[in-house]
Amino acid sequence: MSGRDAILGAVRRALKRRPDDKVARAAVEARMGAPKRGPIPARAQVGHEAQVDLFEAMAVEQSATLTRVARAEDVPGAVADYLKEHNLPPRLRAAPNPELDALPWDSQPLLTVARGRAEASDETSLTGAFAAVAETGTLMLLSGETAPTTLNFLPDTHIVMLKASEILGPYEDAWDRVRAAYGPGKLPRTVNFITGPSRTADIEQTIQLGAHGPRRLHIVLVEDGPMNRPGNGADDGP
Amino acid sequence: MPQDSPLEAAPAPARVGLFVTCLVDTMRPSVGFAAVKLLEDAGCRVEAPRAQTCCGQPAYNSGDRADTQALARQTVKAFEDFDYVVAPSGSCAAMIREHYPALLADDPAWSARAEQVAARTYELVSFLTDVRGVNAVEARFAGTVTYHDSCSGLRELGIQAQPRQLLATVQGLKLSEMQDSDVCCGFGGTFCVKYPEISNTMVGDKIDCIAKSGARTLLAGDLGCLMNMAGKLKRTGASVETRHVAEVLAGMTDSPAIGEAAKD
Amino acid sequence: MRSTARTFKENAKAAVADPQLRRALDHVKSGFIGKRAKAAARLPEFDALRDAARDIKNHTLDHLDLYLERYEQNVRANGGHVHWCATAEDARAAVLEVCQRVGAKTVTKGKSMISEEIALNDHLEAHGITPIETDLGEYIIQLRHEPPSHIIAPAVHLTKDLIEADFRKEHTQFPEGRSLSEPRDLVDEARQVLRDRFLKADVGITGANFLVAETGASVIVTNEGNGDLTQVLPKVHIVVASLEKIVPNLEDLSTILRVLARSATGQEFSTYTTVSSGPKRAEDPDGPEEYHVILLDNGRTQMLGSEFHEVLRCIRCGACMNHCPVYHAIGGHAYGWVYPGPIGAVLTPALIGVEEAGSLPNASTFCGRCESVCPMRIPLPKLMRHWREREFERHLSPAAVRYGLAAWAFLACRPALYHWLVGLEMRVLGALGRRKGRFAWLPFAGGWTRHRDFPAPQGKTFQALWAERKAGRAP
């Protein structure tokens, strides 16, 4: 008997159920077909502006830093300023993402931008985000052709360009957006929820940033306004 | 000038069966009489049926289900004719209230009887405040006390505010909270003799917290915990006195504190 | 790992006498408890989420066979492989087979309690493959050849001085005079050492906090980022997970995630929550080429449907041990096997036998603090009591305890005899103890009087005095 049959048989014996139990199957199908949300924290169910503010407050509380810029065109300048402020070399490994490619990098002649997955020697990465969850100040990054996962973990500094329109309330809204993009039940290879920079408390319970992943997580927030948000801003608060 | 008497607020007289608990019965009957006074002051008629012995926790917590069930039946039988069952112990009250129904659930002759007794069983102080509506006592106690929350009362019966509420009405008494008042003292029934080193470490931590509170008197609602803490306080030579909260609430603090020599 | 649960009492005795350990354990008390309380208080929905999380797991366990089938189907649709392993031995063999097939020399590992449970490292080493623990705490204890002492803080039993000494001994590539006295120095040095290992590893092994049936994904929740480097850099990603890790869908996952970090470390959310589905896709610039799930039973199906069913809801947050006064006193190693604290006291007898681990469910005062903080509302004291019942039924408890209980129960069930006898006994004890009010020594009470005095009884019993009072008042 295979391990599979042995285990499933043991489970069914323990549950006193036949494999063809129609009621049980229907219950599982229902839950798979129409996932129900559990209690959603009230703090996440606020208007979009409040969600953006909540995202910022929560991310900063988790030791991320955040700069707001008015337009996408301002991102290269904000990135260069951040590197300068932190005495970091003016070099970036950027995700091979057309949206990042389209930014006016010429405006920062001192900044070198390479594209692709992270190499061990890369000090700073720049990526986009798929969404962000205001509830806990959490970024949601999906792997794919334009988003190598190594960029999120190997470099010492991770800079993320996030559009305000990408900020959602609870995790469930982010999953809905993933389902809309990938189809029900389908995910990219990796979904990374990232809340602040890497940390450890393994030595005497004192929190140290930069255990293995990035020591710094910097978010450049493009205030693109609710009008650019899919599904418009009708539910926005005053 | 008319005096505020707890009696005035009390509802109709109730017949209360006092579940004395085996520890109070044997070790410190004065706690039982303090309970009787508090209950009578709250308008209850108190009886202490002689058919009671122990609630069965030592057997229950040792995995001896059959003997526990026998004791549960005995206790149910002894108390089922009372309006209420009241124990000066959160642990024994929780045993009857929270555990008897499950213990006797499979026994058709007893399950309903156990449910009924369980539903009418209370720990003393919470019975006074929550059932009899007592919000003040007439007692004096000069000194600073600290209060330990015994585990079963706290977590199984939700007793935390009630003793503090009544202690606040004792004239001359000042409550100084200790750190970690809700952490187990290490008694745990037979635990303290089965695992003496662990228990000792726990009670050691506890008396450190008691000492830091600056209180001269330690109070709690369960005699097992009190004997454990008093025994450790005495062994280390601490001058803190230990009493059951009922003694202070009843104004009956003439007898020597737990583990203290008689005053003659 | 080899169990020392049988010598729990001796282990505990040594632990409470170890001042270094007691110092280290103070960090558990001072850190975790306040942070969890704060995080819980900050989220008004916290208790409703605990109820919802409990209900999700109950539903899942009640339909476990169907969710496992669905999960497997989706892993395969993602291009991954599921290895169904009934025993620890099966699981070790399955991991080794994958490693050997790809010619692995070194394997990086994210923190995984299942890997500890199946003693994977020893098995790999015995076959010439070097496992490298990359979670900082796990790395430290691997250097010391020790098992973890806590399920989420494996090195919590150590102070920084001990870790410094280990690093100086092991990391001989660095100058001797370097500063290593601060946690920051130690973290930086470990990062430097391990970075190279990440880059060179052939296989990465992680555990899983959850397996999602809806998508065939495995989920890890970490703070360091080591689990992510472990799975994204090598050619092969192996997930070792036990079968109760299943949750139905992403909404259910989200609900349970809301209580996990808050209960564990008191964080609003852990730094990294990573949801992984199969190997890298054709268009992905990075990621593993192979993805394997080792799906382990190892005794879980025996618990399913038994009186221990509810323990299968556990999400391994560690809140029970963080709040356990017994754990605070003795630390994790005294429990003698992989899972310490209250959850260990329930799980270990199920996984290695009550004959071996019978002490663990006994070593609790039933103070109930574990249950009061468990995000999955597992009634841990009740389950420990069930083990005591099994032990008692099978006559495994010590003879002295059994006979003592039998004699006491005989008496307690005969009130008249009981009151006469204890009345006599208390008068004697009361008279003997009257002068001092306490005893420094009593026969048969060595466990008590070794460490504390025994307060003397007042003399007459309540029942005796009550009878006197009633007689006095009789009309």
Q: Is residue C283 domain-resident?
A: yes
- What pLDDT was estimated at residue B1? 41
Same domain, A145 and A63: yes
Torsion from C-alpha of C169, C173, C179, C180, nearest 10 degrees: -40
- What pLDDT was estimated at residue B12? 65
Same domain, A105 and A18: no
Torsion from C-alpha of C425, C428, C429, C431, nearest 10 degrees: 150
CA angle centred on C240, ends C239 and C242, rounded to 5°: 130
B71/C409 Cβ within 8 A: yes
Tokens of C465: 């005095």
Is C275 strand, coil or helix?
strand
Per-block mean pLDDT, blocks of 10 residues, chain B (264 long): 47 88 98 98 97 97 96 98 98 98 97 98 98 97 98 98 98 98 96 95 98 98 98 97 98 97 76
Same domain, C241 and C281: yes
Q: Domain range spanning residue A205? A: 46-228
Asked whether the beta carbons of C49 and C258 are under 8 A apart, the reply is yes
The full DSSP string for chain A is: --HHHHHHHHHHHHHT--TT-HHHHHHHHHHHHSPPP-PPPGGGSS-HHHHHHHHHHHHHHTT-EEEEESSGGGHHHHHHHHHHHTT--SEEEE-S-HHHHTS-GGG-TT-EEEESS--TT--EEEE--SEEEGGGTEEEEE-BTTB-GGGGTSSSEEEEEEEGGGEESSHHHHHHHHHHHH-TT---SEEEEE-SS-EE-TTTT--EE-SSS-SEEEEEEE---GGGSTT-STT---
Confidence of residue C146 (pLDDT cuts 50, 70, 90): very high
- What pLDDT was estimated at residue A19? 84
Same domain, A4 and A105: no
C277/A190 Cβ within 8 A: yes
Distance from CA of C155 to the nearest CA of B (A): 21
Q: Which of C397, C416, C435 is the last residue of a domain?
A: C397
Torsion from C-alpha of B196, B201, B207, B212, nearest 10 degrees: 180
Same domain, A29 and A50: no
Mean pLDDT of C20-27: 94
Q: Is residue C215 domain-resident?
A: yes
Does the beta carbon of C329 lie under 8 angstroms from any beta carbon of chain B? yes
Q: Is residue A185 domain-resident?
A: yes
Give the CA distances from residue A117 to residues B41, B182, C44, C76, in Å, rounded to whole numbers and listed in that order.
Answer: 79, 53, 41, 27
Same domain, A132 and A183: yes
Asked whether the beta carbons of C215 and C247 are under 8 A apart, the reply is no
Confidence of residue C298 (pLDDT cuts 50, 70, 90): very high
Contacts of C83 in chain A (CB under 8 A): 3
Beta bridge partners of A219: A66, A160
Q: Is residue C211 domain-resident?
A: yes
- In tens, the pLDDT along C179-202 reads 999 999 999 999 999 999 999 999
What is the phi/psi pair of residue C107, to 5°? -130, 125
Asked whether the beta carbons of C360 and C5 are under 8 A apart, the reply is yes
Check residue B159 and report its DSSP letter.
-
Q: Is residue A204 domain-resident?
A: yes
Same domain, C85 and C216: yes
Which residue out of A200, A209, A215, A217 would a mutagenesis test of the C interface target, given it has the greatest number of C Cβ atoms within 10 Å? A200
Same domain, A95 and A128: yes
Q: Is residue A180 domain-resident?
A: yes
Amino acid at B210: I
Q: Is residue C148 domain-resident?
A: no
- Total domains in chain C come to 3
- The rounded distance, in Å, linking the Cα atoms of C242 and C86 is 10
Mean pLDDT of C26-40: 94
SS (H, E, C) C169-207: HHCCCCCCCCCCCCHHHHHHHHHHHHHHHHHHCCEEEEC
Q: Is residue A12 domain-resident?
A: yes
Same domain, A60 and A11: no
Which residue out of A173, A202, A205, A217 would a mutagenesis test of the C interface target, given it has the greatest number of C Cβ atoms within 10 Å? A202
- What pLDDT was estimated at residue A104? 97
Same domain, A158 and A221: yes
- What pLDDT was estimated at residue A232? 40
Torsion from C-alpha of B209, B211, B215, B220, nearest 10 degrees: 50
Distance of CA B244 to the CA centre of its chain: 7
- What pLDDT was estimated at residue A237? 39
- What pLDDT was estimated at residue C446? 84
Same domain, C69 and C20: no
- What pLDDT was estimated at residue C473? 61
- What pLDDT was estimated at residue C443? 83
Burial environment of residue C398 by CB neighbours within 10 A (0 to 12, 13 to 18, 19 or more): exposed
- The rounded distance, in Å, linking the Cα atoms of C105 and C203 is 9
Does the beta carbon of C404 lie under 8 angstroms from any beta carbon of chain B? no
Of A108, A142, A117, A114, the residue nearest A128 (C-alpha): A142
- In tens, the pLDDT along C399-424 reads 888 899 999 999 999 999 999 999 99
- In tens, the pLDDT along A68-108 reads 999 999 999 999 999 999 999 999 999 999 999 999 999 99
Q: Is residue C36 domain-resident?
A: yes
Same domain, C8 and C100: no
Q: Which of C302, C335, C358 is the last residue of a domain?
A: C302
Average pLDDT, chain A: 93
Q: Domain range spanning residue C225? A: 44-126+203-302
Same domain, A4 and A84: no
Same domain, A29 and A59: no
> Could you give all domains of chain B from N- to C-terminal order, each with its CATH number?
13-130 (3.40.50), 136-249 (3.40.50.11810)
Same domain, C345 and C420: no
Same domain, A14 and A102: no
- What pLDDT was estimated at residue A223? 95
Beta-carbon contacts of C435 under 8 Å, excluding residues fewer than 6 positions away, are B261, B262
Same domain, A65 and A129: yes
Distance of CA C277 to the CA centre of its chain: 27
**Is residue A235 scored above 60 in pLDDT?**
no
